[in-house]
Amino acid sequence: MFPLPGKSSKIEDKSFPQKNTLLIDGRLISWDKPQLMGIVNLTPDSFFEGSRAEKSLDKVATLAKSHISNGASILDLGGYSSRPGAAEVSLQEEIDRVIPAVRWITANYPETLISVDTFRAKVAKEAIRSGAHIVNDISAGDLDEQMLETVANLQVPYIAMHMRGNPQNMQKKTNYSDILGEILYYFTEKLEQFRKFGIKDVIIDPGFGFAKTLEQNYFLLRNLHQFQTLSLPVLVGISRKSMISKALDIKAEEALNGTTALNMFALCQGANILRVHDVKEANETLKLYNTLYP
């Protein structure tokens, strides 16, 4: 592994011992090599137009086929845009956006893992019952009091992200005295909460762009290796985000090169999953990483 500066403070949770594998839908998934998660946004207002496949199974089919053929082992489907200031979406509208896409991908690509990107317990339940395998919650259970019990009952892996507030107000909640320490402590408390509910498989996401300033995002990325102290797989989602476009003074549509550069850095820092819009380029990055560190 790439030699990294700094020292880690040990904050291990014995309830979640280090795992190199995860059991999903009867299949053993290994984290010995990083995985790629392709984004499929079932929304009209996600910040990157190229990821949108709203209300059209033809668009879902095209995007899913492209992601899978280019190397994605997981597809992340979301029916509620979580970009800063995004409009609220009704529960039924989110379900109507997500479930047909889950069913289509399950029927046509049964070997592909499906993650449902939602903070609502009912959407998670309906998606898992329709064939999804993973719940990806930007709020780690904070926006729906039924979510943790639902995930525990479903016995599926849970991606828990760090965020303050909600997508409508999160960018007003960026005041930290020690952002790295506070987020690590947040996860240790969350892991204890998950254990009490009976959630067995957890993936953590530091939440780049969620209640963080530009400078805070880069500080967290520089210190991403510190999250290895939690002894759990780490997901990194920085694809085409404003932390790239603002730093380079470009648009999201022009941020592929910056995304590739930061994805390689994230891999060198120990990322286990890259959540990306551009799977082909991310897969090339991953292949070069694996060549450097076989």
Separation between Cα atoms, residue 221 and residue 215, nearest integer Å: 10
How confident is the model at residue 104, as a pLDDT?
95
Residues involved in catalysis: 241, 275
**Per-residue pLDDT reduced to its tens digit, 73-90:** 999 999 998 766 667 789
Looking at residue 125, its amino acid is: K
Query: Would you say 78 and 117 are in contact if contact means Cβ atoms under 8 Å apart?
Result: yes
The DSSP H or E segment spanning 22 is strand 21-24
Q: What is the distance in angstroms between the CA of the first residue and the CA of the last residue of the chain?
A: 10
Residue 285: pLDDT above 80?
Answer: yes
Separation between Cα atoms, residue 169 and residue 166, nearest integer Å: 6
How confident is the model at residue 274, as a pLDDT?
98
Q: What six digits make up the tokens of 278?
A: 């551009």
> Which backbone phi and psi does 161 adopt, to 5 degrees?
-105, 150
> Which domains are seen in the chain, by residue range?
33-292 (3.20.20.20)
| Reported confidence tier of residue 55, pLDDT bands at 50, 70, 90 | low
Strands 21-24 and 27-30: antiparallel
Question: pTM here?
Answer: 0.89
Q: What six digits make up the tokens of 196?
A: 């009490």
The DSSP output letter for 117 is E
- State whether residue 77 is helix, strand or coil: strand
Residue 54: pLDDT above 90?
Answer: no
How confident is the model at residue 165, as a pLDDT?
84
How confident is the model at residue 167, as a pLDDT?
80
In this structure, of 10-19, 111-120, 183-192, 202-211, the range with the lowest mean pLDDT score is 10-19
Q: What six digits make up the tokens of 206?
A: 């530091």
The DSSP H or E segment spanning 276 is strand 273-276
Mean pLDDT in residue range 8-15:
43
**Per-residue pLDDT reduced to its tens digit, 144-156:** 999 999 999 999 9
